[in-house]
Amino acid sequence: MKHLESVEQFEDLHNGGKTIFMFSAAWCPDCRFIEPFMPEIEAKFPEFTFVHVDRDDYIDLCQQLDVYGIPSFIGYENGKELGRFVSKDRKTQEEVENFISGLKK
């Protein structure tokens, strides 16, 4: 998974193709819970570029996008939001996969 390096990179990725941004933080136990199965999820959905966004590094971006709970996911295609799975709740592999499957419709 790529790691977001700048707000400019966010804009480029957001506007180019199919991207899923995963908002997380090093101190978040629920974020650590999903890490082991994220490579498998990425492999199941190769049409998406997955990008990790560290909430602490990009707090202004998170506020702008109304991302207050983590881990959270937002999917985009060519600048258009396809959907979001945003909450403070722990997420299972099945829930994340169902969210991404729903974006493909």
Task: State the CATH number of the domain containing residue 74.
Answer: 3.40.30.10
Strands across the sheet containing 80-85: 2-3, 49-54, 18-24, 72-77, 80-85
Q: Which residues are catalytic?
A: 28, 31
Instruction: Determine the pLDDT at residue 12.
Output: 94
Per the structure, the count of domains in the chain is 1
Q: In this structure, which amino acid lies at residue 2? A: K
User: By residue range, what is the domain housing residue 65?
Assistant: 2-103
Q: Element (H or E) spanning 34, and its range? A: helix 29-34
Instruction: Determine the pLDDT at residue 92.
Output: 93
C-alpha 95/C-alpha 2 separation (Å) is 21
Structure tokens at 98: 């169902």
pLDDT per residue over 85-102, tens digit each?
A: 987 778 999 999 999 999
